[in-house]
Structure 1
Amino acid sequence: MKKLFRLTQEGVDELKREHSQLVAQRVEVAERIKQARELGDLSENAEYQSAREEQDRLETRISEVEQVLRNCQIIKKPKSRSAVNLGSTVKLKAASGKTQQFQVVGTMEADPLNGKISDESPLGKLLLGKKVGDSVVLKNSTNVTYKITNIS
């Protein structure tokens, strides 16, 4: 059974941009390999070995990106703002008074440093289905309590 990757439209667009860049790099690396071959003995040719390793890395990533794009489901912005769903943007207030905002996304798109948390992360799991005014306790070394102040 194929794994279904859940992405926002923004995430799909970003993967398409990455794919285009990788394909362009593929051509450059192929040219580097060709030039390195012309230098002679490949067994001790550092330029050739380096270019081949880069080609392997590129081909692996191109395959990964293509698989995700073939097997993705686009997350639509939730129409209902009454509860946290995949794609919702949630504003949280910690007991300390500090506020944070996160968008709940699929695992492929998660980037906590940029405000995108996975629906499978501990906080993401706690938030799903909750409403404005609800509180959640993130059980970690400090057990932080967050109150949901806005869902968009």
Structure 2
Amino acid sequence: MVYYQKMTPEGYKKIEDEIARLKKDRPRRIKILQQARSMGDLSENTEYTEAKRDLGHLQSRLRYLGKQLKYAEVIEAKNYGKVNMGSTVVLKFDDDEKTEEYQIVGRMEADLAKGKTAFDSPLGQAIMKQQAGSTVTVSAPAGDYSVTIVEVK
């Protein structure tokens, strides 16, 4: 069974951009490795060992990102008035008077500091398919809390 990774078009584009950047950097890393290799005895050549490790990390990251794209399921945001993947929501937490805005994204894109929460996180699961005005209970590891959906964009 193949597991597809859900993500927004922005998340997909971000991975494509990183792959392009890494591919552009690869020739420079290969050149550094070749220069280090020409320095002589490889068993005691720290520059060679480091350059080989760095190139290996780059190649590994490229393979990983390539698989992310291969198994990506890009979900376009659709505003049916309910919270969905790609939606931006304004939330009011029960213990706070101010509101916070989050975009619902795929697991790989989640970054709370940037206002992005995963659709399958406790918060994401609780608000998915809900409408503005709904109050839901979020079952989180640290305990349950309530949140009201003020707006779905």
Q: TM-score normalised to the size of structure 2?
A: 0.92
Residue 109 of structure 2: aligned partner? 109
- Give per-residue Cα distances to partners, 1:5-54, cap 9 Å, x unaligned: 21211111111110011112211111011000110011111111111111
Deviation at 1:138, TM superposition (A): 3.0
Does 2:150 match 1:146?
A: no
C-alpha distance in 2 between matches for 1:43 and 1:77 = 54
Deviation at 1:61, TM superposition (A): 0.6
Letter of the 1:62 partner, please give it: L
User: Unpaired segments of 5 or more residues in structure 2?
Assistant: none
User: How many corresponding residue pairs?
Assistant: 151
Residue 120 of structure 1: aligned partner? 120
Q: SS where residue 3 of structure 1 aligns?
A: coil
Residue 20 of structure 1: aligned partner? 20
Residue 39 of structure 2: aligned partner? 39
C-alpha distance in 2 between matches for 1:9 and 1:86 = 11
Q: What's the % identity of the aligned pairs?
A: 32
C-alpha distance in 2 between matches for 1:93 and 1:128 = 15
Does 2:16 match 1:5?
A: no
C-alpha distance in 2 between matches for 1:45 and 1:3 = 42
The question of whether the paired residues in 1 share the 8 Å contact of 2:79 and 2:87 is answered with: no
Q: SS where residue 43 of structure 2 aligns?
A: coil
C-alpha distance in 1 between matches for 2:90 and 2:48 = 51
Q: SS where residue 43 of structure 1 aligns?
A: helix
- Give per-residue Cα distances to partners, 1:117-141, cap 9 Å, x unaligned: 1111111111112111111233454
Q: TM-score normalised to the size of structure 1?
A: 0.92
C-alpha distance in 2 between matches for 1:122 and 1:53 = 38
Letter of the 1:18 partner, please give it: E
C-alpha distance in 2 between matches for 1:148 and 1:84 = 9
Q: SS where residue 83 of structure 2 aligns?
A: coil
> What is the 5 A alignment of 1:130-141?
130-140=130-140, 141=142
C-alpha distance in 2 between matches for 1:150 and 1:34 = 56
